[in-house]
Structure formats: C-alpha cells, structure tokens
Structure 1
Amino acid sequence: MIPDLGIPHIAFHLPQRIHDVRSWGKRTRQKTTTVVNLKRAGMRYYRSADGQSAIGLAASAIQRLLVASGISPGEVDCIVYVHTLQGSIAPPPQSLPGLLCDRFGFINAEAFSFAQQHCASALGALRVIRAMFIARPHLKRVLLVGADVMSIESERIMKDEGILSDGAFAVIVERGAAVNRLLAVATHASGLGWRGVLANDEPRLAAQNFFRARSLIRQTVQQAHFTLDDIQRILPHHLDLPAWRRLLDSLHIPQDRLFAENFARIGHVTVSDAFINLAQCQGLVPGRPLLLFARGVGGFSAAALLVR
C-alpha cells in the first residue's frame, strides 16, 4: 500500500550576491551571441555563493526549515542529501550528510546521499523516500536537502539553455501530512544524453528532451487519475523558457499555468528549482494538483504530482 505522504514544510537559501548575465559574459569573455541566447532562454540574473560552501548553503536552508516548522532535530528519522556538482560533497573520509547530522544534532536520523540523476535527483529521491515509507511503517519524517556551488565562473553556462546559480533547499517529507500531498512520481533515464552540455554535435537531444518531458508529464498525471486540464500550476526547472512555452502549447495547457517568474530572477539552481518554486508560488488552490518537473544532464528526467 502506498503511504499518504506530504511536504508540509519547505525552505531554501540563496546567496546574497546577485550577478547579471551581461556582466558575467564580459567577465568570463563569452561571445556576444552566448549572452543573447541566454537572455532568449529567460536568463537575467544568478546567485553566487562567493566562497560559501555547499554545506554552508545546506545548513542555512535546514536552519530556516527547523525554525519555521518547529520540528526538533530528534524528530527527524532520515536525511537524504542531493546534489549535482562533484564539488558539492565533503572530501572522504568525511560525509556531508554526516556533517549535517553532527552540526544539527540529528541523533536519530539515518543519512545518505543521492546524486545519480544530477539535477533531477531531488524529485527522483522522492521515489526512494516513498519506497522507504512503504518498507518501514515506523518511519514518520524524512528531511530532503540539496545544495550546489559552482566554483568556476566560466562553467556556469548550460549550453544556450540557462546559467547555473548557487543555492540550497530543504523540505520535510512526512507521513500523513495534509498539505502538498504526493500523488505520483515518475522518472526517466537514458544514456543517450550522457555527454550533455559537453557535446556540440547532438542537436537531436533537444527534440528528445521535448518529447521525453511531454511523455513524462502525461504519465505522471495519468498515474494519479487526473487530466492535464486539472493541473493548476507547473513548477519547472529553469532551463530554456521558450521550450517550456512550446511544450505547454503541445499539451494544450494554458501558458499562465507555468510558474516562470524565477527563470530571470535566479537562474538554474540545479536540484533546488522545483522546491524553490513550490515555496514561492502563490495562490495555489487546495484540492487541485500541481506538477513539479526537473531534467538532469545525462538524459535524466523526473516529475512529481502534488495536491495542495
């Protein structure tokens, strides 16, 4: 039996340092067309950690979550840490989830990381967490946290689709929660896209991403026995806003259902986009579903359907 899970508490942390795409292009000596294409993709600004580590960002998000929720560290049964960039972990023999447990006193929590689906790892982790709740009836509360820091400024570009921004999120996934209930989650993995942003000769990937997203959204909605017309908002990853507009047109979903404000404001915060959007999207109607979506380099995609 699939347990009744929800996400009652959400927090995120974005560094204070804000840069605009044009100044980044000049500073890193990008071609003019690169900056133009990024702006066409919806990018205007991004956040820089300015020397702060991934564990620092994650800790800031967790601190905000604990204060706002009133949950004590002893009430957390498990911690799942997600990330995309290889620099966003602690060097062996240290463990970043372990360091977070030590810092906050999560004395009852198991802890592990999940990063194999790159930017789709946060939503992909929901499948793992749901399976844990099924297998362990005593499990009540899981802390899902993600953080990424890009230390090389010139490497922030994601082709012409977006620009990487530093940041972190933290959410509580709880058994029996009455808000943001998890109705369905689906993932897709394909080795065909493994070269990702390193490939300059694979234009077919754009078409693959489009049709994969279209199929995955349909699949997730059907799992929960809803229709596309039932979706009140889509909370996307912040890559290629024009492609999202085309995708919604192909699905016959009104454009005003796409929560697109954060593309320009914060750029692509790797694993955190969907949950930052969930925290900031206003006017959600109780009882109607909303869809979270993420795509990771390497051909990974994930979608989750929640009901407010």
Structure 2
Amino acid sequence: MIEPATPSVLSLSGIAFSLPARTIDAHTWACRCGFPEARASALLRNGVQQFHDAASASPVTFACEAVSALLEDTSTTPASIDALVYTHTVQSSVLAPPAGTAAFIQSRMGLDHALAFSVMQQNCVSPMAAIRVLRVLTVSGRPIHRAIVVCADVMGSGCDPLRAIEDLALHSDGACAILLERGAGCNAIVGLHLHTDGRYFRGTDDDLQPVPDDRYYWSAFTTMRAALRQAGVTANELAHVLPHHVNLSGWQRLMTMLSVPQERLFTANFARLGHVFGADPFINFHTAPRAQPGSHSLLFSSGLAGCFGAMVIRH
C-alpha cells in the first residue's frame, strides 16, 4: 500500500549554476597525470568524456556567481532571503578559519537578513542534508519563507589524479545555487530521505581510492524507495529520474531494480558536465525537459563514506 503524501513546506523555485569555461577531456587528463591510455579508454566506455577545470580559482568565486545568477534569474531580492546554507565535499572548498565561507557569501551577496551557516560531512549528499535541516527549521516554527542552498567544490590542479572515481566518473569543479520557498506549490518537495552506512566512514583506502561498497545498489535502491513512500507515489509513476553523474551502467541496473523505464533516466549531462559533486541532480532538474504539472521526479546522489540521499519533487 502506498502511504499518503505528507504536506510539503518547501519547493524548488529556482536553480542556477556556475562552471569553469575550461574543460579537459579524459585522454588529456590521463596524459597529464601519467596514467596509461587504457585508463582514459575505460572512462570513455563508461560514458565519461570530460570535466570542468577551475585550475587555481576559488570555489567561493563560483558559489557567489551561482547565487548572483539565481537572484537575477528568479527576480529575488537579497533582503527576502531568510537563510543561506553553504555546502561542500572537499575540505579545501572552505575558507580557512577563522574566516567563514557562509558569512563571506552572505556579505558579498548582500544577504544581510539571512541566517547563514554551513553543512558538510555528507559529501555529495550535503545539499540534500542542508534542505532537510531547512525543512526541520521551517516546521519547528522559525520564520523561514525563502532560503538559498549553495554547493561549491574545486579539486585544484595539484589534485588531478584524485579526480577519477575508479573508471566511473571525473570530478568537475563548479557551484550550484538552489532557491527554496515555503508554500510555493510548484515543484514541491514531497519526499526526502537520507541514509549513511557507517561501515564506510573512512571514505577511501590508504591510497586515497574509494572503498568498494558491497551494499551500494541495495543502499541506493532502499534510499530512493523510502523517499518515494514518503511522497506516496510508485517508481513507475516518475516522469524523470535525475541522477548524480557516477556509474552510468550502474544507473541502468538501478532503473531495473526500481521498475522504471530506462528512457526516464536523464543522462544528457553525464558526458558533458562530469561529476559536479553535490550539484548533479539539481543541475539535471534545471536542464531536464519540463514535466507535466502534478507529475513527479526523483533526484538522487551518493557520496564517499556511505552517504545516500533521495528527493521526490511534485511538479
């Protein structure tokens, strides 16, 4: 039996992103890292073609660009923003203490009335974790009617060998800003579920390579299923599945597990954008074909250290 949908208090009202103009293809990456050509060929077979390279540019620069574009695209005034949450995956994607990245973006963007803070340690699921925190603050009575979540990450040219997630993805630098509004109705968040498997708390092995997760597919499937149950919809009702850009062949397997037709998996950005850390599902939501009002889409992301997150949107 499908559980009834719970009342939604926040909606995705706008998304903007900022990516470096420079792109590096898989063959060039393998060459400059000293990897064999076979490594690039394996990436290409998995649909991985290129990544966006910020070189030495600051992630905060991209974060501010994304927030600025979001405010302009949605005709939102800075004074109307009640909360700003900064999220990231890479430790170097924040200003060194005692500086505060969220406070810097708040000051630069003129968000003087916003409650500003940061969410981290959920890696590529951190934006969804931030949205969950905002939902809790909203239902607990805090007067948050409009909020921005911004995620930004830059690997840095000195970390090029770490861009690859096995042969399944290449990390791109960049940022994404998300406008959330209370009671907007359209694109309402009707399901949101997070899961962390503590067995993978280290994230990587001694060689900084991802630790194989023998429960990955089951964890991803059950996380998505829990979000769907919250929303009161079945998987085969979904208009789109909006994935993170990792493991394209694995996504085909997950679609089978969900009993969703493969054509509903939005894959147009996999090869073109690379894996932009926590931004992938939100960029896909912004660029996917417009769905019919009343239909639903599923956003999903997972990260190192056993983090999983799924969100259901009612269009």
Shorter-chain TM-score bucket reads: over 0.9
Counterparts of 1:154 and 1:40, CA distance in 2: 19
CA displacement, residues 66-90 of structure 1 (integer Å, 9 cap, x when unaligned): 1111111111111011100011000
Match of 1:50 among 55, 78, 83: 55
**Normalised TM-score (structure 1):** 0.95
Counterparts of 2:76 and 2:188, CA distance in 1: 19
Match of 1:60 among 61, 65, 69: 65
Counterparts of 1:211 and 1:34, CA distance in 2: 28
Question: Unaligned 5+ residue runs, structure 2?
Answer: 1-5
Partner of 2:169: 162
1:98 matches 2:96: no
Partner of 1:145: 150
CA displacement, residues 40-67 of structure 1 (integer Å, 9 cap, x when unaligned): 3221011011321010000110110011
1:7 matches 2:12: yes
Match of 1:293 among 300, 304, 307: 300
Match of 1:216 among 220, 223, 226: 223
Mean Cα deviation higher: 32-41 or 143-152: 32-41
Structure 1 residue 194 displacement after superposition: 2.7
Match of 2:128 among 123, 130, 135: 123
Equivalent residue letter for 1:282: P
Counterparts of 1:196 and 1:108, CA distance in 2: 37
SS in 1 for 2:215: helix
Structure 1 residue 2 displacement after superposition: 5.0
Identity %: 34
Equivalent residue letter for 2:264: R
CA displacement, residues 90-115 of structure 1 (integer Å, 9 cap, x when unaligned): 01110000001111111111111101
Equivalent residue letter for 1:87: S
Partner of 2:182: 175
State the aligned residue count: 308
1:245 matches 2:245: no
**Normalised TM-score (structure 2):** 0.93
Structure 1 residue 284 displacement after superposition: 1.6
Partner of 2:3: none
Residues 163 and 170 in structure 2, CA contact (< 8 A), matched pair in contact too: yes
Structure 1 residue 203 displacement after superposition: 9.8
Structure 1 residue 148 displacement after superposition: 0.2
Counterparts of 2:143 and 2:222, CA distance in 1: 35
Residues 78 and 109 in structure 1, CA contact (< 8 A), matched pair in contact too: yes
Match of 1:263 among 252, 263, 270: 270
Counterparts of 2:51 and 2:235, CA distance in 1: 32
Question: Unaligned 5+ residue runs, structure 1?
Answer: none
Structure 1 residue 222 displacement after superposition: 1.1
Residues 159 and 197 in structure 1, CA contact (< 8 A), matched pair in contact too: no
Residues 15 and 282 in structure 2, CA contact (< 8 A), matched pair in contact too: yes
Structure 1 residue 204 displacement after superposition: 8.6
Partner of 1:195: 202
Counterparts of 2:19 and 2:80, CA distance in 1: 26
Structure 1 residue 137 displacement after superposition: 4.8
